Amino acid sequence: MKNLNQVVVAAIFVLIFSAMAAAQVMFTVIPVPGSSPNSSIAINNASQIVVNTGNSNSYNVSVWSRLGGAQDIALVGTNSGGVAINDAGDVVGAADPGHTGFLQAFLWQPTSGLQWPGSLGGDWSSASGINDAGAVVGMSFTGDGAPHASFWTPETGTQDLTPSLTSPEGAIARGVNSSNQVVGYYFPNNSDTTLGFTWSEAGGFQNLGSQGTLAFAINNSGTVVGQVIVANSYRHAFSWTQSGGMKDLGALSGSESSALSINAGGWVVGTSLTSVNGLLHGFLWTPSAGMADFVTLAPTITDAWQIGSAQVNDFGVIAISTSKGGYLMIPRMTGTITSAPNPSVLGQPVTFTVAIDSIAGPPPDGETVQFLVGAKNLGSAILTGGVAQITTAEIPVGAHVVKAVYSGDANYLPVAYTATTQTVNR
């Protein structure tokens, strides 16, 4: 039987890539502690990361964040692996609690611990995705030993999304959005080639794309991403909408690519073969700029890094699993400070303004920036649309270096900006 998980070929601010912008460092790359090379990785909107530590046969699963550190899920048994996390910090995957050799789908919640959603009557099950309401999708064996796509909620239990499927290769559901729209792929009866699908309670089961299509993820707007066969039997990353149909996202310098994740802003991340060394590179695709290599956006990542998996959250933070381990690509905030009037005279009110932006746009409204003029701390100001201001008349005579310190948050790193000198005359 084919292993379905091995079928994969391993806005307010508009994103603009000019030739100059493309050469700039758009992301800061930091390691994810404990994440093993080439293991699964997942991220939520608080930049909590599912960390798999171990080897290809057995993983210790934990949740890690820059601000909160690590929390062990404490799974029992071998062959454990976490694959998805929602905004509540709930984690899903598969493990072997009874040491039987049969994987079981698990759901771990910070407040209530481990649950085992069960199966469709068979010995095997696995979870692939979870939405913020706690609906879990994946694969479950039936009593006849056939792998079917599954959908689980606490209220309904495990539901078979492909009840009429008889092919031994089966089906798997890979993603679910906030409206309980599900995507995945299956092997139609009497076929050895996959076909993508969408499912919802209202619309039922619908085929997606042509033969060879793999659907991996769906955002809350209903945009689906995955991989589809194009000309010359190449496989390319795609996005699909009900109104617009299938869109080929292209590839990097090689011939094949695969889209693995999509956020609320339509950012798509995935992998693509390159002609540089034949390795899979990561890519970011945006509606306004198309496809860019991670190596270009974050030069810490080199041509020698093989990218295995990637997910992007709604704040533009990208979690990647590589041949070197797990990493976060965090949008780099840049700031510009101005003051007016400058120069000023002693006792005259001066307004200091900082404007902060990034490839993902500005920080969220309501976050703070601290202003310092020379050694004097002027206090904090609130960001709105990436802009914060503070006014003071208490600056002594002389030339003073002006600094603005952005405090950062769960997604973005703290950073200090020094961009101007305020001169005060008598």
Closest CA to 411 of 152, 80, 43: 43
Q: pTM value?
A: 0.92
pLDDT higher than threshold 80 for residue 235: yes
Percent of the chain's residues with pLDDT above 70? 93
Q: Quick one: pLDDT band at residue 76, thresholds 50, 70, 90?
A: low
Percent of the chain's residues with pLDDT above 90? 84
Domains belonging to the chain, first-starting first, are 4-331 (2.130.10.10), 334-425 (2.60.40.10)
Q: Quick one: pLDDT band at residue 278, thresholds 50, 70, 90?
A: confident
Q: Quick one: pLDDT band at residue 253, thresholds 50, 70, 90?
A: confident
Q: For 354-390, write each residue's pLDDT tens digit.
A: 999 999 999 999 999 999 998 889 999 999 999 999 9
pLDDT higher than threshold 90 for residue 183: yes
Question: Which tokens belong to 407?
Answer: 């405090």
Cis peptide leading into residue 341 (ω within 30°) = yes
Identity of residue 192: D
Q: For 3-57, write each residue's pLDDT tens digit.
A: 333 332 222 222 222 333 334 789 999 999 999 999 999 999 999 999 999 876 6
